Amino acid sequence: MFVYHHKVHYYETDRMGVTHHSNYIRFMEEARIAYLDTVGASYVQIEADGIISPVIRVEGKFVHTTTFDDMLDVEVFVQSMTTFKLKLGYIIRCRGEVVFEGSSLHCFLDKAGTPLPIDDYYPQLRPQRQESAI
């Protein structure tokens, strides 16, 4: 299990003092990049290999609000992987309580836009377990 930590900044909140919903996609991206670094598939290396990896879908379910100065624990895991698509799951907790569940779907393309078989390039991304995130 990989967990990324993020402390909610003041500028990430709205006038009600609640973490703005758009920031959860940023938290997912921060955690995803940190996770990929740890498994040897960093974005720097992916791009150096001439591969681009666009996000093709993002889903999220807000469970509880968070506020300024809250410490968030963002669990990232490979939810599924097919030849051409990688789905990552995210569970965000604050003080042990689930506040958000989400997922992001990615494909891998060469610079001409041709889909690449991700499992050939990055077999270390094969899922280790299944989770309930969206």
This prediction has a pTM of 0.90
Question: Residue 51 sits in a domain of what CATH number?
Answer: 3.10.129.10
Beta-bridge partners for 98: 93
Print the domain residue range for 118.
2-125
Does residue 132 fall inside a structural domain?
Answer: no
Distance of CA 61 to the CA centre of its chain: 14
The token pair at 82 is: 């097919």
Does residue 79 fall inside a structural domain?
Answer: yes
Domains held by the chain: number: 1
What integer is the mean pLDDT of 106-125? 90
pLDDT of 64-112, one tens digit each? Answer: 999 999 999 999 999 999 999 999 999 999 999 999 999 999 999 999 9
Does residue 121 fall inside a structural domain?
Answer: yes
pLDDT of 27-44, one tens digit each? Answer: 999 999 999 999 988 999
- Give the DSSP letter string of 86-98: EEEEEEEEETTEE
Angle at 130 between CA 4 and CA 104, to 5 degrees: 55
Does residue 134 fall inside a structural domain?
Answer: no
CB 32, CB 38: distance < 8 Å: no
pLDDT of 128:
66
Above pLDDT 70, what percent of the chain? Answer: 95
Does residue 130 fall inside a structural domain?
Answer: no
